[in-house]
Structure 1
């Protein structure tokens, strides 16, 4: 092997090593949630948990009881009416399930009391209002109101994107991401997008999970039907783009080689 050939070979090896090291380099974006608290052992985030308000299309379970159950019976729906998906809550008997769908105007039709406007109220406020009205006819009524169909969507650069359902009255963006398998290593934690429908308008807000000082309760805690989108890091986008181009190049090369092979065979056959 000549000296010139050796130099070319060495140069090629060097290029391959540099390329390998570049592809294995660590991402430059911050992958640590709440990295601003790394030096702190304890403290508070200074956020109170906001109570959800009822919106159209919510499904509510409302159960009315009293010291004398027969007196409260007329304020409950007939048994087994409007029972939602698969008994709704595990462990709740069919006889105690009473569900109401909030219409587009924010109303429900409640036994005896008629049409009630509930949109904008919390479940606690609605229970208190029902107790106040029912107390006119029933002694010591007890009203329980639960939101049954709370769900959000998590999409983007997470392990298992999809719909997240919860029977809690509140769920944080961290809860939703954990339920989706967490953000992938190359997902951007500093630019998570929250999309929300608010009074007929679609709004959005970006949250930096790496800096807890920028969090606000309004968006850190999610509302019904919110969408959480995790943006891929630029390196991830470049990787996907490169893979698509490489796949196209390989397919194109395969077509060219196949075509050349066919043409060669044809030429050989014609020249015999």
Structure 2
């Protein structure tokens, strides 16, 4: 009778320790996936213009070509700088114009000009019209200097990337990040974009060929892409590094109880 009671005690104790080990290793998807509580906006409700639109905090390089003396007042000189005052070999830095919170830049001679909300083509046309009062047939070149996109989540090389051109697609950005890992959820690639101070969200399904027809297939400056982990990765995250210690402890306890039972 006492032996049966001991058996029941051992079984209950072993079950309790096993349950404890399982609970301690349990991790839900909420501890793994980013941006879960944010609303997802359907892509057809977002901006359908694939051309880059200038926004506050953009840095623009603007050069004006034409008759040398006439265009001189409209071209900022390159800035010379060095890493140390003791370094005599300074480097030249490209002069830029910062778009302020109101979408304006301060341009030589022309004064305040609103470029925020315009595409490069529209901004070029605007500047040409204003410059034509001072320069015959001006040639205007505008370049966005701080065009970056960020790729996070299940990719091989996550990070923030500077884009040399003013056009980059979803797949090109993922390629720069080393492509998705085997654990990346192909049907759940999220785009986070800020427009007029508001966050917008859209979802891409890379398993569909129609992803290339999305109005947001071409990214804009400061876009963020996030690739969700699949179920296999979430389950693997549930493995607790202390599991080995717990299992060893349970085994030791079982051995002690077994010795106790045979006495």
Q: Which residue does 2:184 correspond to in 1? A: 187
1:153 pairs, out of 125, 150, 164, with 150
Q: Within 1, Cα distance between the matches of 2:103 and 2:63?
A: 19
Whether the 8 Å CA contact 2:56–2:100 is kept in 1: the answer is: yes
CA deviations on 1:223-260 (whole Å, 9 max, x unpaired) are: 1111100011111111121x22xx1222345678999x
Q: Within 1, Cα distance between the matches of 2:104 and 2:61?
A: 14
Q: Within 1, Cα distance between the matches of 2:71 and 2:135?
A: 7
Whether the 8 Å CA contact 1:193–1:229 is kept in 2: the answer is: yes
Q: Within 1, Cα distance between the matches of 2:235 and 2:106?
A: 54
Q: Which residue does 2:69 correspond to in 1? A: 70
Normalised TM-score (structure 2) = 0.69
Q: Within 2, Cα distance between the matches of 1:49 and 1:103?
A: 22
Is it true that 1:225 corresponds to 2:225 in the alignment?
A: no
Higher RCO, 1 or 2 (CA under 8 Å, sep at least 6)? Answer: 2
Is it true that 1:56 corresponds to 2:50 in the alignment?
A: no
Q: Within 2, Cα distance between the matches of 1:53 and 1:222?
A: 11
Q: Which residue does 2:162 correspond to in 1? A: 165
More helix by share: 1
Q: Within 1, Cα distance between the matches of 2:179 and 2:231?
A: 19
User: Cα gap change, 1:60/1:258 in structure 2, threshold over 3 Å: closer, same or farther?
Assistant: farther
More strand by share: 2
Q: Which residue does 2:244 correspond to in 1? A: 250
Normalised TM-score (structure 1) = 0.67
CA deviations on 1:156-180 (whole Å, 9 max, x unpaired) are: 0110111011111111110111000
Q: Within 2, Cα distance between the matches of 1:71 and 1:129?
A: 18
- Give the total of aligned pairs: 199
Q: Which residue does 2:24 correspond to in 1? A: none
Q: Within 1, Cα distance between the matches of 2:215 and 2:133?
A: 37
Computed over aligned residues only, the root mean square deviation of the Cα atoms, in angstroms, reads 2.6
1:207 pairs, out of 190, 204, 208, with 204
Aligned residue for 2:236, secondary structure, equals: helix
Long gaps (5+) in structure 2: 1-47, 82-90, 254-263
Whether the 8 Å CA contact 1:149–1:167 is kept in 2: the answer is: no
User: Cα gap change, 1:125/1:256 in structure 2, threshold over 3 Å: closer, same or farther?
Assistant: same
* Correspondence 1:84-163 to 2 at 5 A: 94=92, 97-163=94-160
Whether the 8 Å CA contact 1:208–1:215 is kept in 2: the answer is: no
Q: Which residue does 1:22 correspond to in 2? A: none
Q: Within 1, Cα distance between the matches of 2:143 and 2:187?
A: 34
Whether the 8 Å CA contact 2:147–2:221 is kept in 1: the answer is: yes
User: Cα gap change, 1:111/1:258 in structure 2, threshold over 3 Å: closer, same or farther?
Assistant: farther
Q: Within 2, Cα distance between the matches of 1:193 and 1:257?
A: 45
Is it true that 1:174 corresponds to 2:168 in the alignment?
A: no
Q: Within 1, Cα distance between the matches of 2:126 and 2:59?
A: 18
Whether the 8 Å CA contact 1:196–1:225 is kept in 2: the answer is: yes
